[in-house]
Amino acid sequence: MKNVAVLGAGSWGTALASVLAENGNETRLYARRLSAVQEINTYHTNEHYLPKASLAPSLQASANLSEVIRRSDVVVFVVPSQALRETARQVRPYLKPNSVIVHASKGLEVRTFKRMSQVLAEELPEHANQIVALTGPSHAEEVIQKLPTAVVVASKDSHAAEIAQSCFMNSYFRVYTNTDVIGCEMGGALKNVIALATGLCSGMEFGDNGIAALLTRGLAEMARLGFAMGAQPNTFVGLAGVGDLIATCTSPHSRNWRAGNMISQGKKLDQVLVEMGMVVEGVKTTEATYTMAKHYQVEMPITEQLYQVLFADKCPRKALTDLMSRDKTHELQDYVQGWS
Ligand SMILES: NC(=O)C1=CN([C@@H]2O[C@H](COP(=O)(O)OP(=O)(O)OC[C@H]3O[C@@H](n4cnc5c(N)ncnc54)[C@H](OP(=O)(O)O)[C@@H]3O)[C@@H](O)[C@H]2O)C=CC1
Ligand SMILES: O=C(CO)COP(=O)(O)O
């Protein structure tokens, strides 16, 4: 059992903190709003983010960052990707020297195109070798109901990954280790782009054939960019890749899917984000990925069309026509070229 801090009391931070507390870890959840702290400590609920759910009674929330961090052996960051750097900066003065740093955010920093573990390594240099990424198919709404879930903890340091694995694992939350940090993080980030596209296409009344094509070709372009960045292609057929793609692209729990679906009904992106009231990571990730694909000279046709729809007001039906009328190609083009 460990002393654990969880930073970010949104849907995922609250669900993960509840799992950790239920596993017997002394768990403190940092919420920046006092009203959330009071609700969690008094009623063991977080109605805005996890309606009707009961949290582990032993879970303690606090709005005092130093109090939450100081004694923690494991610190879990679960804030939106664009807020990770600032949160890490605030935390640094209070960290114990050997704390394991876990993050569960799925995205890319849009300003720097960096992955979350890279952002943490820059901001927490003393802990750069103890960073773990937790990812995989895991809707908070299901985890809090104790529905069976399997995730991955990826780290260069297998000891750090095993500490995280032991803290989180229980009878309904199975945790695998992995050493391919790039692949696991890119799988988690890029599936949100495809989930947005899938929500959009579902709203345009695509049939099952079209959705299956979108997921499969989406996975191909996720793996293509991941490989160019140094990931192992096989990671994309694991939990962090195809696993999370299935969970996110086929579930009404997914905020990314829902956002795409709302756009298909003619709503503007700004309006969709306000209505959602929770983070939709795929929007910023589409922006970052569009530029990264160009930088790495990798073809990502679905991402490119989605970028045009989100940020250049392109008509979704025109985007679909442009996707379908691309030049002829081999399905396994990447394998034919030897992933070179
Ligand atoms: N929800 C899920 O099922 C899953 C989510 N994830 C990932 O987890 C990460 C967090 O998502 P999730 O919990 O769902 O998000 P939510 O939108 O549900 O909650 C976001 C949390 O972060 C806080 N927050 C928002 N902006 C800032 C900021 N600028 N600085 C500090 N804190 C901030 C919010 O505080 P406040 O309430 O005060 O605004 C809230 O506690 C994302 O990267 C997401 O992709 C991964 C797997 C599953
Ligand atoms: O990452 C998730 C499930 O694995 C949650 O996806 P959304 O952010 O789209 O809700």
The DSSP letter of residue 219 is: H
Backbone torsion region of residue 2, taken as left when φ is above 0, otherwise alpha when ψ lies between -120 and 50, otherwise beta: beta
Residue the block writes with tokens 């927490």:
124
Give me the pLDDT at residue 323, please: 95
CA atoms of 329 and 182, how far apart (whole Å): 28
Dump pLDDT digits (tens) for 94-133. 999 999 999 999 999 999 999 999 999 999 999 999 999 9
Q: Which residue ranges have their beta carbon within 6 Å of ligand 1?
A: 8-13, 32-33, 49, 78-81, 83, 87, 104-107, 138-140, 278-279, 281
Give me the pLDDT at residue 87, please: 98
Token readout for 257 is: 């899917």
Is the pLDDT at 283 greater than 90? The verdict is yes
Q: What is the mean pLDDT of residues 273-299?
A: 97
Residues 268, 160 contacting (CB under 8 angstroms)? no
Q: What is the mean pLDDT of residues 205-230?
A: 95
Give me the pLDDT at residue 91, please: 97
Q: What is the mean pLDDT of residues 4-18?
A: 98
Cα-to-centroid distance, 256 and ligand 2 (Å): 7
The whole model's pTM is what? 0.98
Cα-to-centroid distance, 141 and ligand 2 (Å): 10
**CATH topology assigned to domain 3-179:** Rossmann fold (3.40.50)
Element (H, E) at 256: helix 255-264
Is 279 annotated to bind a ligand? Reply is yes
Task: Among 78, 184, 191, name the best residue to mutate to test ligand 1's pocket (greatest count of ligand atoms within 8 A of Cβ).
Answer: 78
Query: Mean pLDDT in the chain?
Result: 96
Query: Which CATH class for the 189-336 domain?
Result: mainly alpha
3-state class of 4 per DSSP?
strand
pLDDT band at 33 (very low <50, low <70, confident <90, very high): very high
| Cβ-count burial 253-291 (b if 16+ within 10 Å, e if not) | ebbbbbbbbbbbeeeebeebbeeeebbbbbbbbbbbbbe
Domain ranges of the chain: 3-179, 189-336
Residue 243 makes CB contacts below 8 A (sequence gap 6+) with 136, 137, 150
pLDDT band at 289 (very low <50, low <70, confident <90, very high): very high
Cα-to-centroid distance, 251 and ligand 1 (Å): 18
Task: Among 279, 280, 285, name the best residue to mutate to test ligand 1's pocket (greatest count of ligand atoms within 8 A of Cβ).
Answer: 279
Is the pLDDT at 333 greater than 90? The verdict is no
- Bridge partner list, 28: 5, 60
- The ipTM assigned to this model is 0.99
Q: In what order do the strands lie in the sheet with 131-135?
A: 60-62, 26-30, 3-7, 74-77, 100-103, 131-135, 149-154, 173-178
Give me the pLDDT at residue 340, please: 61
Give the residue among 113, 229, 123, 246 at the shortest CA–CA distance from 181.
229
